[in-house]
Chain A
């Protein structure tokens, strides 16, 4: 049997195992080891099982994942989400759809500390949804705004998914973070534009809020300046080359903890709870990475990725035609798979093609992260939608999916802009030393 056939069978078994709810990392690892043994020999396959987890666990770059998660967790426990929402509302609430706009701005601010979309959506749903309902926003718009705003967590640095992409493709994670800034700001602005457009089309559904006094605005900023300064400090530090992404993560985590302690929002039990939560989330990611490396070794000896790459390039779709096919594949996979698992599984296959086509790897990282984030708000998986449904049980999934539809269109437009003008992504990283 040829290597390609074995790889194909392995993919079928892998998807079957994942469909049967075997954890993604375990499924990839098991199929990888068994496949390696089938193609090569049992002894080296077993040896891989002993070497890969210890080597992956010992990779210092991986440390930034638990530490950035910890930073977000500590900021959340300190009540940052509520304060960000209050500050955004004080400044933007008086506009038509002001609360919705404030929610998007708060999601953007929260994403700057928390690298997880699901966490951003879950946290903001608890804070912003009751307020929007109180002021007469339709459930459709209110939940749609939060689901879409939540996706900012995956793009605006520090992004855990971008870090994993960098880890797997050996790209500079600091550059990837910097590359995510302008697309992140563009996302916030386009979402705000979408809310304004909805307000212009349906003024009754999108009320105008009360204008806050300057004193209220100033007071609201007092609550959030510390954490926002922390974000500027760590991202500025990465940009200026003062510290690496891993060091920035440690500075961020300790900084968030100190801010929480000084403001009397954190104590020992809550700190411990944040540590436990962060480590457990990271361990889940670690298992997927271990599985991906085991599966990657297996794929490498079958030479299937190289053959697939040749086949894709042989279709002669052109540089951008091939990119469109890759992005469509990500969109399709996003309907059934977790964003992180999807990137980890597909990078060994698509990344060599992208390199051969001459695309900038940093640009590709940002673009695929944006593509997979669509999977967070599109049916049937739409993780953010399910999370919001968990918070607002009385709002149906259909209503939330309908509410998020205009933002999906916005995302597609944004994706097209970034594909047409890669410089939007690559400009800032190109200025780094």
Chain B
């Protein structure tokens, strides 16, 4: 499950990077090259016809970022790769470390559960409001739904992590 979460998150990062890159390139071509290749009037008419950027590129980029981050969070939860203050934990004896780990994972899981639940309600309200992307009028809620599912996966993976701490097995961070 964690590999799927990682793969999904990584794909969305690739999507937003390529969308932003394409946007810059398309803008550069349309604004600079066409204007210089064609006579002034024709160049202006060509510029009016072709879009200056990828239609809804900005909106899809934002949505891809949101999905990628929420799914990336799932991998973070599983491997315990959140930003933490370790200095006191390192000074603790082994038994206390384990108790602290249980506590930290429990608090994280409760927060993630609350986050998932409230995000679910938010996705519902976005669906009811009928929000769409500005150019292509694509509904937003399915994208938010995919992002929300990343939070659910993250919460479930925290349960797996809890069991792993009980077995004294910590998944190694990816090199």
> Residues of A at under 8 Å CB distance from B?
17-27, 29-30, 33, 46-47, 49-51, 53-54, 57-60, 62-63, 66-67, 70, 243, 246-247, 249-251, 253-254, 272-273, 275-288, 336-338, 340-341, 380-381
B118 with A49: CB separation less than 8 A:
yes
Instruction: Please report the C-alpha to C-alpha distance between residue A46 and residue B111 in the assembled complex, in whole angstroms.
Output: 11
- A141 shortest CB reach to chain B, Å: 26
Chain A residue at minimal CB-CB distance from B80: A23
A contact patch SS: helix
CB of B164 within 8 Å of the partner chain: no
- What are the 5 tightest A-B residue pairs by CB atom distance, in nearest-first order? A283-B72, A23-B82, A250-B20, A50-B118, A57-B66
- Beyond A26-B108, A276-B75, A279-B9, whether A63 also contacts B118 by CB under 8 A is no
**Option from B72, B85, B86, B114 in Cβ contact (under 8 Å) with A279:** B72
B103 with A24: CB separation less than 8 A:
no
A247 with B119: CB separation less than 8 A:
no
Residues of A close to B62: CB separation below 8 A = 58-60, 63
A22 with B114: CB separation less than 8 A:
no
Residues of A close to B86: CB separation below 8 A = 21
A-B contact count (CB 8 A): 189
Instruction: Please report the C-alpha to C-alpha distance between residue A63 and residue B50 in the assembled complex, in whole angstroms.
Output: 26
> Residues of B at under 8 Å CB distance from A?
6-7, 9-14, 16-18, 20-21, 23-24, 58, 61-63, 65-66, 68-73, 75-76, 79, 81-89, 100-101, 103-104, 107-108, 110-112, 114-115, 118-119, 121-122, 144, 147, 151, 174
Instruction: Please report the C-alpha to C-alpha distance between residue A21 and residue B13 in the assembled complex, in whole angstroms.
Output: 29
Chain B residue at minimal CB-CB distance from A272: B10
- A375 shortest CB reach to chain B, Å: 11
A254 with B72: CB separation less than 8 A:
no
A286 with B16: CB separation less than 8 A:
no
A25 with B118: CB separation less than 8 A:
no
B72 with A280: CB separation less than 8 A:
yes
A276 with B174: CB separation less than 8 A:
yes
**Option from A23, A57, A67, A380 in Cβ contact (under 8 Å) with B83:** A23
B85 with A275: CB separation less than 8 A:
no
Instruction: Please report the C-alpha to C-alpha distance between residue A285 and residue B73 in the assembled complex, in whole angstroms.
Output: 10
B114 with A286: CB separation less than 8 A:
no
- A191 shortest CB reach to chain B, Å: 26
